[in-house]
Structures are given as structure tokens and as C-alpha cells.
């Protein structure tokens, strides 16, 4: 009987998921971005898929469930898992209001498999859209419109 008990305990220890990684509290300033366009290049270079030139697309992608990111001033991208009490961060009203805005965020940083994730507990400041690049790229960059002849 004792052998069965120890086998059972050993089996439970193996089947129990590992403890979640501990986060690190950080404050980071950057732009709330559309990760699909930023990483895929489908709508141009990283310079053209941020700011006022990409605001409308960022809204559509976020509303459609594309994960949003926080592009820090040093170029680091954090995948945003949650902002405050918003249970639907990918398409929730909170992130739609913040699309393409530069914010200062306070939250918990988690890293796994080379990716950085942030759970934002507080948007300390919202500086609105500070990257006014629509004058360079247009409100809908011309290179993002499919060529009907192709």
C-alpha cells in the first residue's frame, strides 16, 4: 500500500504544471501598435505602420482580434496581454481608444521563449498620437493598396 501511495504522489508531481514565471514590475513609454502589420511587413516598413499613418488600420486589426503591442522608445516590442480591468484587451474599448497613442505604462513584464509580454496595471499617461507621419505616408499609404493589375 505504501508503494502505491508513493507512486501516486510521484505521478501527481509529474503531472502538476510548473509554476508560472514571476513577473518584473516595469514602467515603459511607447506607442500602442498593430503587431500584425508591424511584424509581417504586409503594409510597409516598420516606420510606416505606426503613428497617424497607420491609426485606422490599427483600429481595425485590434477590433478584429489581432494582438496589440507596445513599441518602446528603445525599439523593444511588448505584447500587451491586458490593460487594467479590460478583460478583452485585443479588441476591448481600452485599446481601441489607445491605438497609435504614445503612453507611459506601469505593469508586469513576463518573458518566455524570447518574447516579452506586459500586463498593464495602469496607463500612467496618454500622450495621444505623437507620431504625426501621415504627412509622409498618407492616411492610407499608397503602397498598402493592392495593385488590381497583379
SS (H, E, C) 27-80: EEEEEEEEHHHHHHCCCCCCCCCCHHHCHHHHHHHHHCCCCEEEEECCCCEEEE
Within a domain: residue 88?
Answer: yes
CATH number at residue 114: 2.40.50
Q: Give the pLDDT band of residue 54 (cuts 50, 70, 90).
A: confident
Domain tally, the chain: 1
For the stretch 65-112, pLDDT in tens is 888 999 999 999 999 988 887 766 655 666 788 999 999 999 999 999
* Domain span holding position 112: 21-132
Quote the pLDDT of residue 18: 53
Within a domain: residue 116?
Answer: yes
Which position has the higher pLDDT, 42 or 1?
Answer: 42
Within a domain: residue 62?
Answer: yes
Residues facing residue 117 across a β-bridge: 79, 110
Within a domain: residue 8?
Answer: no
Within a domain: residue 76?
Answer: yes
Contact status, residue 17 vs residue 95, Cβ threshold 8 Å: no
Residues facing residue 26 across a β-bridge: 107
Within a domain: residue 145?
Answer: no
pTM: 0.76
Its sign, for the CA torsion 39, 42, 43, 45, is: positive
Amino acid at each position: 500500500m505504501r508503494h502505491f501511495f508513493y507512486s501516486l504522489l510521484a505521478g501527481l508531481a509529474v503531472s502538476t504544471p510548473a509554476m508560472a514565471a514571476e513577473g518584473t514590475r516595469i514602467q515603459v513609454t511607447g506607442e500602442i501598435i498593430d503587431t500584425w502589420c508591424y511584424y509581417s511587413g504586409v503594409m510597409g516598413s516598420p516606420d510606416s505602420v505606426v503613428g497617424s499613418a497607420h491609426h485606422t488600420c490599427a483600429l481595425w486589426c485590434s477590433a478584429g482580434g489581432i494582438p496589440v503591442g507596445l513599441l518602446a522608445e528603445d525599439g523593444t516590442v511588448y505584447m500587451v496581454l491586458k490593460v487594467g480591468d479590460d478583460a478583452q484587451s485585443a479588441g476591448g474599448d481600452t485599446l481601441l481608444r489607445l491605438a497609435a497613442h504614445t503612453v507611459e505604462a506601469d505593469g508586469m513584464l513576463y518573458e518566455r521563449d524570447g518574447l516579452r509580454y506586459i500586463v498593464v496595471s495602469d496607463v500612467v499617461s496618454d500622450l495621444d498620437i505623437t507620431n504625426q507621419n501621415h504627412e509622409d505616408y498618407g492616411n492610407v499609404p499608397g503602397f498598402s493598396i493592392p495593385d488590381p493589375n497583379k
